[in-house]
Amino acid sequence: MASKSSIKKRHSKWYEQLLLNKLTPWILGLSILNLAIITVHEASEIEKIFSTILFTNTCFTSAYIWYRQSIKYPGTHTLSVLLPGLSLSTLAIYLTSFWITSYQPKINETISILLYTHIWFFCGFVLGRRFRVTKVALIPLGKAYEFTGNDKTDIRILNAPYINNTRFDAIVADLHSDELTSEWERFLAECTLAGIPVYHYSHIQESLTGRVPIQHLRENLDGHLSISQQYYFIKRIVDFTTALALLPALIFILAILAIIIKIDSKGPIFFIQPRVGENNRIFKIIKLRSMHTGTKETHYIHNIHDPRITRCGRWLRKYRLDELPQIFNVIIGDMSFIGPRPESQHLAKIYEEKVPFFSYRHCVKPGISGWAQVNQGHTTQVHEMMTKLEYDFFYIRNFSLWLDLLISIRTIKIIITGNGAR
């Protein structure tokens, strides 16, 4: 076995730790920003300099927080997800300063800090690509072989309890396996003491895929099967106020879509169907009709190329416009903007028979969009539906503001482009 001194974590040298420290881009970015502000202002403008620094530093810090929080989740290491979040964080601080505080930021200041944050984090994104590939040592015992990683994971198989001076970011093993000998256990202990994190295979697989395998449904981050009641309360307030604010524009858009639907095919404008909601309560979901009337009813999810879908319906579904009336469900309190999609009673019964803890997904309000929708999209096969459940369980297990914001940005991207998971 290799000596303890030969086991070292990847990027463990002092200059690597300094450059790759999470706070380094924030501190360095703020230093350059503040130096630029002081340089362009006269020394006599102390009050103006202080106000400008306070505003720009708050914008930059909020952008940094978004950047750090968003990259924790799989599927976020793309500029199309990160950059819109940076813009929204800056806009939020601008609106807060404009409406609440006495400081009125100038447009040129806002544009400048917006450009600076985008350029700064874009450079960090590009320069950090090589370091985002996680080098993992896999101990192939027990069920650890189920760990597959992703395209940003470099997996090396360990056939013996030593690593020959190779530096790794993490060690992955089946920590519950009886095949782990005392030598392997000592090796894992030495890795932990050397600062190399040791993960149970299912835990790291979950963080890389954004899914909680049904056979490994575990407790959430707080250690029990429940969600944050504090965030649940805040989320409901945000849902209600946002839905009310969007209502005038929604009514105008629905009026136009209603005319198009009536011209395109005969039948009602809205499609109303019972669905299973929070705490297994049945509610009626409201959608714009996208199928011909008089078609045979089926409880299964239809294929996007289903001939029963109208010409207008294909367009509505592509851009998710058929979901717009569900804002009324949000106002009533039956749904949220973000959450697991509500299932029909028939499908819910089938899932309950196959997955005993299926009803766990009903501990939150169903959503207009969700983690499964932006990652997987439309499902037509049974095995795809099981994967959808794994995404739903991941959402509930990681129920938080940051995940909701991430889903919102990815949903907006899909609506605008018409491409991606739906």
pLDDT digit string, tens, across residues 83-134: 888 888 888 888 777 777 667 777 888 888 889 998 998 888 887 776 667 8
Per-residue pLDDT, 244: 96
Q: What does the block give as tokens for 378?
A: 């439309």
DSSP calls for 24-49: HHHHHHHHHHHHHHHHHS-TT-HHHH
Using CA atoms, how far residue 89 sits from 125, 186, 339, in Å, is 17, 46, 22
Q: Which two tokens stand for residue 413?
A: 């991207």
Poorest-confidence range of 1-5, 148-152, 186-190? 1-5
| CB contact at 8 A, 136 and 155 | yes
pLDDT in tens, 53-76: 888 999 999 999 988 888 788 877
Amino acid at 188: L
DSSP state of 194: T
What was the pLDDT predicted at 6? 66
- Beta bridge pairs of residue 157: 138
Joined together, the tokens standing for residue 83 give 């950059």
Q: What is the pLDDT of residue 46?
A: 81
Contacts 24+ apart (CB under 8 A), 179-187: 179/141, 179/142, 180/139, 180/141, 180/142, 183/1, 184/139, 184/141, 186/1, 186/161, 187/1, 187/161, 187/162
Q: What are the residue ranges of helices labelled H in 304-377?
A: 311-318, 326-332, 345-354, 371-375
Q: Check residue 395 and give its pLDDT.
A: 94
Ramachandran region, residue 296 (left: φ > 0; alpha: ψ -120 to 50; beta: rest): beta
C-beta of residue 313 within 8 angstroms of C-beta of residue 387: no
Q: Which domains does the chain have, with CATH numbers?
A: 14-130 (no CATH), 133-209 (3.40.50), 229-417 (no CATH)
Residue 4 — pLDDT band, cuts 50, 70, 90? very low
- The whole-number average pLDDT for the span 253-271 is 92
Q: What does the pLDDT look like over 177-235, one tens digit per residue?
A: 888 999 999 999 999 998 899 998 888 888 888 888 776 555 444 455 678 889 999 99
Partners of 199 in beta bridges: 172
Q: What angle do helix axes 46-70 and 24-40 make, rounded to 10 degrees?
A: 160
Quote the tokens at residue 38.
């002081």
**Tens-digit pLDDT profile for residues 386-419:** 888 889 999 998 899 999 999 999 898 888 876 6
Round to whole Å and give the CA distance between 159 and 144.
13
Residue 29 structure tokens: 């970015």
The pLDDT assigned to 378 comes to 65
The band of 336, judged by pLDDT with boundaries at 50, 70 and 90, is very high
The number of beta carbons lying within 10 Å of the beta carbon of residue 311 is 11
CB 274 within 8 A of CB 344: yes
Q: Which of 179, 197, 186 is nearest to 142 (CA)?
A: 179
Q: Model-level pTM?
A: 0.83
Sequence-distant (6+) residues with CB within 8 A of 401 are 231, 234, 235
- Chain-centroid distance of CA 98 in Å reads 29
